[in-house]
Structure 1
């Protein structure tokens, strides 16, 4: 993104909010303005779309420190850092957000540059921006974006009745205009390089005006974004990985399709379970019939089909071939008659007669079975029928050629 939106907030959400849109490619201001308070940040929502966003925090609310280290910076020291700082901060260390910058070496001594601010305060600002769909990629104290000063000098700019200063060795400050003279009398630097008019700046320091570079403070800060010394968008404030645009465009459709697919799979799974249960019932019924037909045989469920085929092949080639023919005629009725359950089979090979004792839900079921078999040219003789509770028990004799 070649355009950047800079949003500079105050200490409280009732203070003015400055903003500026900067063109990186043209190095010029596209638009700028000031909101009376944070409640008007919604006016920047559209301006934030398609642009990288930098949140500038007031230097007065962010403290920079250089922490001395016993050795080079490493992961173990990073975990120990809060304990190293516990006695150096006035508040509870758990209430402080610690942002880690670059390690530094000064006269062969190791340091780590850090930034400290109130955790709840920064969380509140991030929450307000999120409410208006403004997501900064950079969070940094404003004065830290001033041009880096030369040795023995301070960089300075005036912003909203304050002077912002940046010195060497990881030092920034924000000073009310009425106190600038007192502040500068205490600083060791002998020169102040200022990027805004300094007629009101009274001090004993040498003043070096960068008149050719005078510009809006946020425009000066925008140029400093090219070399970030630190970004507070880390740790608990680390930016979440953005979803690709195609996913955001298709997310609703994909989720709907997923729900539909899940429902389809659930229905099919239920149907599969029902079919499996039905298949198990048929298999159990087939085993019962097989046991009745071949009482001396051991049933092997996983080989049942093959057992039946082998036994039928044996019957078709021997004197019991009539049994196979009569059985085939009888089996054909299962697809046509409901509620007819054979209980025993007896075959008289001398008379070529198959006797079936069965139970049915009514007398008409036996009549239906007899009619179907007779239509197939089979001689059928029906025995006595007796009522047994909800069922009718009876016998049917099927006779082939003797």
Structure 2
């Protein structure tokens, strides 16, 4: 998201709401304006879609405290801080939303907002159907001042101040003349660098120095990008979108993972079985090789392939090849002729013929067998009835 919607919520639902849409790519304000109250906040719902929404809250609703913690309580500050604040505040700590600002060696800086005020702000946004994961205190978004300096900005009828020591403050315009003298202690000189026209108020020890003027919401938007403090902590912490998406698709992802694991297991089993079969075939092949080539002492895969190729090539050139091919055809003929039983078989290599004596139930069986021998030629010898069947001789030879 290269655009953001900045909304400054008021203390009450009747106060003015400032807003601005800023483009990071174009580095310019797309739109800006004011709303008369929280009832008009819903008009920003369309602008909030597909944009980062950053919320600013008034510093006047947030108090800051520095607490000295014993070393034993450094890690369990959440349990200790409420009791320590009870001594400084008249309000019940249980009614406060306590956030950590920063940790130091000797203590911790915390910010406090009433639970009721947090609920009111949440209700404003929920009624307008706007959600945000970043809530910043407006005065903390002012430019960081140098030592013994203060950054100041006027927005609506309020002045925002940010001090070099990290404090933030919001003062109504009407109370400015009363509050400013309290900022100067022990004749200390204070330089206020203002980004809005300075008020017509003279206070001893305070010097006003004009900075480059900026649109108030533009200046706060720049500071919000650098702000590390987010008011949405503890019970108000927003759920990470990735976590929310994971919760929605968790069951489907687990089911998909199980299916993948099952498929992978089946594939591994198939691979294992295939490897076992290949190992069995390899063992049988080596066993046959040892029988065919007993003189070979060291068996290698390349040697096996080479020796078998030579043996097959030699077999193709040998006279026995004719006998093997004739026997193949003879075997097929026996399979296609029922009740045709061989009694004796003799192969004459010089003539290239087979003399077969066989028994069949009829003369037609001999004729069927001769037809099954084709393309080999066959010559039928004397046939005679014997023991309820027909016995005869066939001479089978290759057609030249």
User: For the residues of structure 1 that align with 2:199 and 2:221, how far apart are their CA atoms?
Assistant: 25
How many residue pairs end up in the alignment? 245
Question: 2:136 corresponds to which residue?
Answer: 140
The offset of 1:194, in angstroms, is 0.4
User: For the residues of structure 1 that align with 2:124 and 2:22, how far apart are their CA atoms?
Assistant: 23
The offset of 1:44, in angstroms, is 0.7
User: For the residues of structure 1 that align with 2:107 and 2:4, how far apart are their CA atoms?
Assistant: 32
Question: 1:208 corresponds to which residue?
Answer: 209
Question: 1:174 corresponds to which residue?
Answer: 170
Seen in structure 2, the aligned counterparts of structure 1 residues 244 and 114 have a Cα distance that, compared at 3 Å, is closer
Correspondence 1:228 to 2:224: no
User: For the residues of structure 1 that align with 2:132 and 2:25, how far apart are their CA atoms?
Assistant: 20
The offset of 1:12, in angstroms, is 0.6
Unaligned stretches of 5+ residues in structure 2: 253-400
User: For the residues of structure 2 that align with 1:201 and 1:139, how far apart are their CA atoms?
Assistant: 32
Once the two structures are superposed, the pairs formed by residues 114-263 of structure 1 within 5 Å of their partners are 114-188=110-184, 190-204=190-204, 205-210=206-211, 212=212, 214-242=213-241
The offset of 1:246, in angstroms, is 8.2
Seen in structure 2, the aligned counterparts of structure 1 residues 50 and 209 have a Cα distance that, compared at 3 Å, is same
Partner SS, residue 226 of structure 1 = helix
Question: 1:45 corresponds to which residue?
Answer: 45
TM-score, normalisation: structure 1: 0.57
Q: Is contact 1:73–1:112 with CA below 8 Å preserved after alignment?
A: no
Q: Is contact 2:151–2:161 with CA below 8 Å preserved after alignment?
A: yes
User: For the residues of structure 2 that align with 1:199 and 1:61, how far apart are their CA atoms?
Assistant: 23
User: For the residues of structure 1 that align with 2:224 and 2:194, how far apart are their CA atoms?
Assistant: 19
The offset of 1:199, in angstroms, is 4.8
Query: Which of these two proteins has the greater Rg computed from alpha carbons?
Result: 2
Q: Is contact 2:136–2:224 with CA below 8 Å preserved after alignment?
A: no
The offset of 1:104, in angstroms, is 3.0
The offset of 1:25, in angstroms, is 3.4
TM-score, normalisation: structure 2: 0.57
Question: 1:23 corresponds to which residue?
Answer: 23
Once the two structures are superposed, the pairs formed by residues 279-358 of structure 1 within 5 Å of their partners are none
Q: Deviations over 1:333-372 (max 9, x none)?
A: xxxxxxxxxxxxxxxxxxxxxxxxxxxxxxxxxxxxxxxx
User: For the residues of structure 2 that align with 1:139 and 1:178, how far apart are their CA atoms?
Assistant: 27
The offset of 1:10, in angstroms, is 1.2
Seen in structure 2, the aligned counterparts of structure 1 residues 199 and 183 have a Cα distance that, compared at 3 Å, is closer
User: For the residues of structure 2 that align with 1:244 and 1:113, how far apart are their CA atoms?
Assistant: 30
Q: Is contact 2:18–2:35 with CA below 8 Å preserved after alignment?
A: yes
Q: Is contact 1:145–1:225 with CA below 8 Å preserved after alignment?
A: yes
Correspondence 1:111 to 2:107: yes
The offset of 1:201, in angstroms, is 4.1
User: For the residues of structure 1 that align with 2:218 and 2:109, how far apart are their CA atoms?
Assistant: 25
Q: Deviations over 1:304-331 (max 9, x none)?
A: xxxxxxxxxxxxxxxxxxxxxxxxxxxx
